[in-house]
Copies of this chain bind each other. A is one copy, B any other.
């Protein structure tokens, strides 16, 4: 895929300085860019790279005053970062998510409908009685069980597995290997110590603009729904148990796990490898640092938590600082004991 500097400038409504006929075939960081690359300069901290970059063209602000001569062509725009992000989105769509049409063999169950302008990859499977919107992208090996609903513009990458009766909103992204709607981990102990499986007949609801990472797992509710609300972003290998609710625009980083029936508020951030016990409530704007374990509900908004078990971040940092010096603390204590209570002379 190649464009000239002039063509790109036209799309961005920018003005070219330098050779508008150069061919661009990739996007790159200004400090790593080579011939054929287009880059951008938004943060002026990186301005020195402008005079040494190997990029064929750089997107810069209309107002930027050059302090040295440049080798690269410039495309001057109002907001370089936003213009570059627009190009990134265009590039990603052109190279990864823009495919349309149906590859065979693929499977579409009875009474299922799918909207206009979609892609269904080879070996993709859609069960019965599904309702799937427009512009939906279904990569190869995707499994969609019976009676699912999927909104417009949602992308399901290779091998994503959606159990029956799942509801997915618009413009969601489900990455490869993610499992949505697997059975909750519910077993009733029997008198002999064995377990009877409690059937899980609920479902999962993902609202609009939700992102689910590769190989993440989201269990269906025992009854009712496990819910991921609008705009929430779930990273790779995250576990979300049955009947959990994740609030709007909440971010859960990789390998975190949330136990059954816990409700997380809006605008929260869980860093990587965090664990939450079951049946908790986390207030809006709660932040939990990496590897922490939360065992109690958090009622006040905007708290920062750390540790396992987690408590207030500032107190946790202080306690950890002393933890490292415990051997010294113990020595000081022993010394004090000797001084105040000397051993009897023999």
Taking beta carbons and an 8 Å cutoff, which residues of A are in contact with B?
A: 27-29, 32, 85, 88-89, 91-92, 95-96, 103, 105, 107, 121-123, 125, 139-141, 143, 145-146, 157-159, 161, 163-165, 173, 175-177, 179, 182-183, 185, 187-188, 193-201, 209, 211, 213-215, 217, 219, 223-224, 231, 233, 235-237, 239, 241, 248-249, 251, 253-255, 257, 259, 266-267, 272-273, 275, 277, 290-291, 293, 308-309, 311, 315, 318-320, 322-327, 329-330, 332-333, 336-337, 339-341
Contact = CB atoms under 8 A, between A and B. Distances in A.
Contacts of A196: 85
Nearest to A249: B194
A223 B31 CA distance: 12
Contact of A201 (B92, B165, B320): B92
Contacts of A293: 273, 290-291
15 contacts: A88-B198, A91-B201, A105-B122, A143-B158, A143-B159, A157-B161, A157-B163, A175-B179, A182-B213, A193-B266, A215-B237, A257-B273, A259-B272, A318-B327, A340-B340
A248 B340 CA distance: 57
A332 B332 CA distance: 12
A200 B92 contact: yes
A326 B336 contact: no
Nearest to A254: B239
A151 to B, nearest CB: 16
Nearest to A317: B309
A152 B208 CA distance: 41
Contact of A336 (B88, B158, B290, B340): B340
A124 B325 CA distance: 56
A309 B320 contact: yes
Specify which of A28, A121, A122 lies most central, judged by the most chain B CB atoms within 10 Å of its CB.
Answer: A122
B182 A161 contact: no
Contacts of A105: 105, 122-123
Report the 7 A-B pairs with minimum CB-CB distance, sorted nearest first. A88-B199, A182-B214, A143-B158, A92-B199, A179-B214, A322-B326, A161-B176
B195 A251 contact: yes
B254 A257 contact: yes
Contacts of A183: 173, 175
Given A125-B141, A194-B231, A315-B327, 17 more contacts: A95-B146, A105-B123, A123-B125, A139-B143, A140-B143, A141-B141, A141-B143, A157-B182, A177-B179, A193-B266, A255-B255, A257-B273, A272-B275, A291-B293, A308-B308, A329-B330, A336-B337
Given A176-B179, A290-B275, A339-B341, A159 B141 contact: yes
